[in-house]
Chains A and B, each alone.
Chain A
Amino acid sequence: MRTTTADIERVDRQKGGMWLWLLQRISAAVLLFGLITHLIATHILSIGELSYDNIAERLQSGFFITVDILLLAASVFHALNGTRMVLLDYFFKDVARRRILDVVLLVFGLAAFVYGLWALWPWITT
């Protein structure tokens, strides 16, 4: 049997379309606070002085470590879930293909988060 949009909507309700919607709002709130902090720190206070050592100096403080890790997690999630929303408006009408897209985005997102954390590690630990 061919899957219809109604089927997809039912699956979404059962399998967490609401949670993704809510998480998109929560990550948006984190980004709003985190990005304003991040932009003021890098584009206003340290403009023209950005360097490896400048970042190291900033990441001495637990506040900026927390903000940076939260930003990494929230931005990767928000970006990929947003991409998913845009893609689903035009493609992936078929449920099986949508599951593939979801898995690809999830794996890519986790990989980007782990890679970003690995990249931040030397600044955080020294």
Chain B
Amino acid sequence: MVGLRRPPAWCKRSRGAAIALDESKTLGKSREREEANVGAGLWKGVGMWAWILFRISGLILVAYLFVHIVIISQGEVGGPDTLDKLFEMFENPFLAFLDFMLVAAVLYHGLNGVRVILMDFGVGIRSHKAVFWFVMAIAAGLLAWFAVVAAPHIF
């Protein structure tokens, strides 16, 4: 935040100017609160969206986990052929794409989780937005690797 400059001592303020100054002061304060990295600012902007996406990706992964357990267990329930047929079905480009989106959800949830744990230890609370973009850069890098490998199976 740019600091508000106090008028010099010799400046004779009219009433109107004083009100304008006060207004800019309170506006500045509320803006400062909103853009702050701590306190209420933690739950605004980047911090809020990171949290909402963390929740949504988490719930998607919970749903997938139990589907995943049921699918892999078909090797024991219906035998090797049943499982191999299911794997063949997943060769479908659209399902391969969904699979890739799943990797994206895992990477987002995992790397944002790293930021959350760091904040639990008191690391990077004031710079949580910068930390967020830093871990997202790592997630994007890893996702690009998976994208390159998955692309021939999707297109």
Q: Please list the residues of chain A having a beta carbon within 8 angstroms of any beta carbon in chain B.
A: 25, 28-29, 31-32, 35-36, 39, 43-44, 47-48, 50-53, 55, 72, 75-76, 79-80, 82-83, 86, 112, 115-116, 118-123
Contact = CB atoms under 8 A, between A and B. Distances in A.
Interface in B110-124: 110, 113-114, 117, 120
Given A47-B150, A50-B87, A82 B110 contact: no
B81 to A, nearest CB: 8
B145 A44 contact: yes
Q: Is the interface of B mostly helix, strand, loop or mixed?
A: helix
A99 to B, nearest CB: 21
A68 to B, nearest CB: 10
Contact of B103 (A43, A55, A120): A43
Interface string B14-37: 000000000000000000000000
Interface of B: 55, 58-59, 61-62, 65-66, 69, 72-73, 75-77, 80-81, 83-84, 87, 90-91, 99, 103, 106, 110, 113-114, 117, 120, 145-146, 149-150, 153
Given A39-B106, A55-B75, A119 B69 contact: yes
Given A25-B120, A28-B117, A115-B73, A52 B84 contact: yes
Contacts of B146: 39, 43-44
19 contacts: A32-B110, A35-B106, A36-B110, A47-B150, A50-B87, A51-B83, A55-B75, A72-B69, A79-B65, A82-B58, A86-B59, A112-B66, A112-B69, A116-B72, A116-B73, A118-B76, A119-B77, A120-B72, A122-B75
Contacts of B106: 35, 39
